[in-house]
Structure 1
Amino acid sequence: MTGKALAGLGGFDSTVKSFMQARNIPCGQLAVVRKGKLVLSRGYTWSADTGLKTQPTSLFRIASISKPVTATAVLRLVQDGKLKLTDRVATLLGLSTTADPRLKDVTVLRLLQHLGGWDRAISPDLMFQDLAIAKALGVPLPISQADIMRYASGRKLDHAPGTTYAYSNYGFMLLGRIIEKVSGLSYRSYVQSKVLTPRTVHRMRLGRTLYRTSGEVPYYSTYTGTTVFDNSGKKVSYPYGGFNLENMDAHGGWLATAMDLTRFAGVYDGGSVLNAASIKTAFAKPATGINSDGWYYGCGWMVRPVGTGKINTWHDGSLGGTSTLLVRRYDGLTWAVLFDQRQEGSAPSYSDIDPALHKAADAVKTWPTGDLTSTYF
């Protein structure tokens, strides 16, 4: 265990340790913030490899926690009057609507709320169809985001836009391209300047599939896949070539530390990035897709009402070699937990970390008053 924690928070450490040991997870990380103050920032290592030592500053792929980051950038463009939630995506990006005229009805808001009409339960997830797309278009690997958009626009939607909630990685990839089109900057540059820098987050960066950056943890998977980076048909470790992380920038491509994510999440407690109206929009109920137990997907966040005027908001992430979770509680607690492998086969569930951390938080009767923020930011 590395990093720091204020007194009385040992329950968080024991929770993560036992969770990792039961699943043989080599690298883990946890950060906890209470009312804007960083009270715990840890790295954990469970490995016989003495050269592997997870720090609180080690970078992890965060997978779909990239979505609230992208949504924040979109909401900032709307706030600044450079984009409207009602703007049509096909018009913004010049997408062909010949194959399905309903594509004209996909708006920015519908992308944010996963109401665009693409459904991976019906048609394969477009962001993981590199081999099929390359073959259909007659282009070499690796394919580009433009190739994916051309292929997708040549197919029919699975639902009429606005009628059915269906989680869509492709929809958030499109949001990244909209950010670039409207801002005139690269996706990374806009997010860094308008979302991350105002929160003094400077460690986050976009990941690469085949190469780890300095301080980035390794990723583990028992699965292999056919490389999507050339036409060799070679089998590779799934996290290192079975998918194209570069194409996933806006829906799953960021690297971060757990404390970077809790720091980013502070955007939604008010401040210079988003105003109160934008934050209200992020957490507003969509036109459809309210689940039976009350939770729904807002704009880049999952939202659960927990009482009058109270909500919990969160997002998880999962890729080969990656399992992540970011939680904002109604009572001023925020935490992020990151692992360098995910549930595979008959291994115990990784989603169990969510109730386990809520239990650890609820067990703290007296919270420490200090703040570790200046140590790391």
Structure 2
Amino acid sequence: MPSVVATHDRTSADYQQQWDNLVPQGYRPISLSVYGAASDPRYAAVWVQRSGPAFAGIHGVGHAGFQTFVNTWAAKGYSPTIIAATGPADAPVFAAVMELEGHGVSLTRHGLSTGSDSDQGTIEFWLAEARRRDWIPRWIAAYGTTNDRRYAIVLDPNPGHVVWSIDGLHGENAGTYQQRFDAQRQQWARPAFVTVTPDGGYLSLFRDDSLGDDWAARHGLTSGDYQREADTWMPKGLYPAYVQAGGAVGNTRFATFFARQDRPLPRVFRATGPAVPSMHAIDDVVEERMRATGTRATAVAVTHHGRLVYARGFTWGEAAYPTTQPTSMFRLASCSKPITAMAIFQLVQEKRLSLEDRLVDRVGFELPPGATRDARFANIRIKHLLTHSAGWENPPGDYWQAAQAFGQANMPVSKRRFAGYMASRPMQFAPGTKQVYSNLGYMMLGLVVESLRGSDYTRAVQDTMLTPLGLTRPHRTPTRQADQRPGAARQHDGALRVGPSAIAGPAGGPHPLAALPYGGEDYALFDSFGGWCMAPVDYAKLLAAFALGAANPLLNPDSVQAMWTVPPVSPPSTGFRYTHGWASWNEPNGVRGFEHGGAMPGVATRILLRTDGWGYAIFSNGGSVADIYYAIAGLPASAWPTHDLFPQYGIPAYQLPTVTPAAATPIADHRPAALRGEAASELEPLRAA
């Protein structure tokens, strides 16, 4: 622990004396708060004795004095690092610190109000601008009154692509902020800054970088409470990384964060799984993309003519961050849909189902009391559900509405009830007349599987597909963080979003807050369209089956051909040729490619296979998936290994004849635009638009 001085409730003169005494001793301010009345402000500060860039400070000035200070030192290359303010909007008192950091002058604004994100005079505008330009808030201050609140903000470059979130612009009360804190901790975020508004509300900045696991955050503290917390934690080596206060003197409340350091820990890149020198291009592409986007965990598996020839896990995280393995399990999001399509075609192959069968003849729906179905619902056929042409453009309801429609007091709503509620809602077009991507359709297909197999969807797929292939890891992803299985990758939403819980609280509200990846969606409802959790090596075993031709243990050639047939409803003008559970395209050399992507909070996945014998599964827990198509499609014949890694990961190998490695034809990317880049976001898969 460095030498630290932390003080609070000091007058302007006291703070000046601190500056005069501590700066010559090598101390520098890392946190500063000004609070109380503008006529007699108080200061709370944290000083750390360490070297660093040159700095300058000011306090006790108004708008004009603050602007002059910024202009003067910005001209010398200094950038604001701390801004604090108190008092009314038209006559505030500012305090600030600027440092010669060497990255140019950070964008700094003050006097901002709340309002439209298209108005440059609002805090919303600059936060939206930060998102667009990949900046990150360094410091934010709130002053003024409840009816005329103002903000000052510093926005820094974000070369490390740190994920962040600001909430409570209107001042959350202590209880709501506690819910937000609890929800953010569920996605491994920390409060990087919490400011207390003059009327006692909380405005919080959360980040996903780390100061280590040993820390303590507190809010709602009186002056005496804060002193007792400091007396408790500082002897243990934890000091305030920030302390902020708001409210009148005598009724001030403090928020603080004690940690062993106030600067984020560095990230380290590491890879696991056997290196394949001839396929090193994949390693390079994945590492470059993870560093460029801040993605923490990615795993890749590649198959060639029925063999697993490449399987690696990649981690871009702090030293203590869980190391990604080829067997690390990721949520699949919509890469679950091809699995459901295969389960349906197995039933067709067994002659227990026809693509022409009506949904209502295969699944019984319990409608909410007094509800009726859209007349067109009776015309939905299995083929319509598989090809996203069943009749829904936008999800016609949400979790909480469904629960209330059945008279439930509390969440969650069951999958059967949710399906019944959706069946009672209006449809947007007649089945079979056009193609619009629909998670709801694949949810209904899961119910078809359950009805005909006589078990829940997950168990049915495990019994008919996964267990016969020797796959034991795949499972339906749990919703709560505490229920995730050992070896499951962490989910980090790309904006640290928090929303109403879909699994807890009263159906009619108020809904407690939950992290989107861990309670903001109910994954018990997702199983057949987005709920599988598995390792890429496991999905690779499924993909490899399609290189076996007539020996495919999942589907015979006729079933495969039917599954991969593009329906007439698929619009050729878009280039997005969706078959029955797979997006497809044709190469000029006659090779067909089949692909699916998936994206949800903290999930980015892609699977691909080609009719010339190779495929891949690439799963990530960030907002991006490296498109390794070029790196694989351009491999020369000598690059394709003849080894088989399936047994190394506890997966039985297929019984295959010895084959001579064939060249992968070097080609341009002929995939339609809809299949390139990242999968579309599926943030709200079942909610009303």
Q: TM-score, normalised by structure 1?
A: 0.91
1:4 paired residue number: 274
d(CA) in 2 for partners of 1:145 and 1:175? 12
2:259 paired residue number: none
1:90 paired residue number: 360
**Could you tell me how far 1:170 is from its partner in structure 2?**
1.0
Amino acid at match of 2:309: V
Amino acid at match of 1:323: A
Q: 1:5 to 1:193 in 2, by over 3 A?
A: farther
d(CA) in 1 for partners of 2:520 and 2:465? 30
- Specify the SS of the correspondent of 1:337: strand
Match of 2:492 among 220, 230, 237: 220
**Could you tell me how far 1:184 is from its partner in structure 2?**
1.3
1:345 paired residue number: none
2:529 paired residue number: 251
**Could you tell me how far 1:172 is from its partner in structure 2?**
0.7
d(CA) in 2 for partners of 1:370 and 1:46? 28
Amino acid at match of 1:298: T
The answer to whether the 8 Å contact 1:5/1:39 transfers is no
**Could you tell me how far 1:308 is from its partner in structure 2?**
6.2
Amino acid at match of 1:220: H
Amino acid at match of 1:237: A
* 2:404 is aligned with 1:135: yes
The answer to whether the 8 Å contact 2:335/2:606 transfers is yes
Q: Residue by residue, what CA displacement relative to the aligned partner does 1:33-56 show, whole Å, maximum 9, x if unpaired?
A: 111121111111101142411111
**Could you tell me how far 1:98 is from its partner in structure 2?**
4.0
* 2:648 is aligned with 1:375: yes
Hey, which bits of structure 1, 4+ residues long, moved more than 6 A? none
Q: Residue by residue, what CA displacement relative to the aligned partner does 1:266-306 show, whole Å, maximum 9, x if unpaired?
A: 23333121001100011001121233264411111111122
Q: 1:184 to 1:135 in 2, by over 3 A?
A: closer
- Specify the SS of the correspondent of 1:303: strand
Amino acid at match of 1:138: G
d(CA) in 2 for partners of 1:196 and 1:362? 28
Amino acid at match of 2:386: L
- Specify the SS of the correspondent of 1:233: coil
1:282 paired residue number: 563
* Comparing 254-263 and 327-336, the one that deviates more: 327-336
* 2:359 is aligned with 1:78: no
d(CA) in 2 for partners of 1:172 and 1:333? 27
**Could you tell me how far 1:309 is from its partner in structure 2?**
4.5
**Could you tell me how far 1:133 is from its partner in structure 2?**
2.3
- Specify the SS of the correspondent of 1:22: helix
The answer to whether the 8 Å contact 2:598/2:605 transfers is yes
- Specify the SS of the correspondent of 2:526: helix
- Specify the SS of the correspondent of 1:4: coil
d(CA) in 1 for partners of 2:633 and 2:474? 30
Tell me the percent identity. Answer: 31
**Could you tell me how far 1:363 is from its partner in structure 2?**
4.0
* 2:441 is aligned with 1:171: yes
Amino acid at match of 1:360: A
d(CA) in 2 for partners of 1:43 and 1:265? 19
The answer to whether the 8 Å contact 1:206/1:254 transfers is yes
Match of 1:111 among 370, 385, 396: 385
Match of 1:311 among 587, 592, 596: 592
1:99 paired residue number: 373
The answer to whether the 8 Å contact 1:142/1:228 transfers is yes
The answer to whether the 8 Å contact 1:262/1:336 transfers is yes
**Could you tell me how far 1:225 is from its partner in structure 2?**
1.2
* 2:323 is aligned with 1:53: yes
* Comparing 188-197 and 318-327, the one that deviates more: 188-197
Q: 1:236 to 1:77 in 2, by over 3 A?
A: same
- Specify the SS of the correspondent of 1:58: coil
Unaligned runs of 5+ in 2: 1-270, 652-689
The answer to whether the 8 Å contact 1:314/1:325 transfers is yes
Unaligned runs of 5+ in 1: 343-349
The answer to whether the 8 Å contact 1:199/1:267 transfers is no
1:238 paired residue number: 516
Q: Residue by residue, what CA displacement relative to the aligned partner does 1:303-333 show, whole Å, maximum 9, x if unpaired?
A: 1122364210011111111000001123322
d(CA) in 2 for partners of 1:34 and 1:200? 19
**Could you tell me how far 1:136 is from its partner in structure 2?**
3.7
Q: Between Structure 1 and Structure 2, how many residues are aligned?
A: 362
Q: Residue by residue, what CA displacement relative to the aligned partner does 1:151-195 show, whole Å, maximum 9, x if unpaired?
A: 112111111000110111111111111111111122122211211
Amino acid at match of 1:255: C
2:632 paired residue number: 361
d(CA) in 1 for partners of 2:430 and 2:589? 33
Amino acid at match of 1:130: Y
Q: Relative to total residues, which structure has the larger strand share, 1 or 2? A: 2
The answer to whether the 8 Å contact 1:76/1:273 transfers is yes
Amino acid at match of 2:632: A
Amino acid at match of 1:245: Y
CA RMSD of aligned residues (A): 1.8
Q: TM-score, normalised by structure 2?
A: 0.51
2:472 paired residue number: 202
Q: Residue by residue, what CA displacement relative to the aligned partner does 1:218-267 show, whole Å, maximum 9, x if unpaired?
A: 11111111111122522221101100011111111111111111111123
The answer to whether the 8 Å contact 2:346/2:555 transfers is yes
* Comparing 106-115 and 306-315, the one that deviates more: 306-315
- Specify the SS of the correspondent of 2:427: coil
1:272 paired residue number: 553
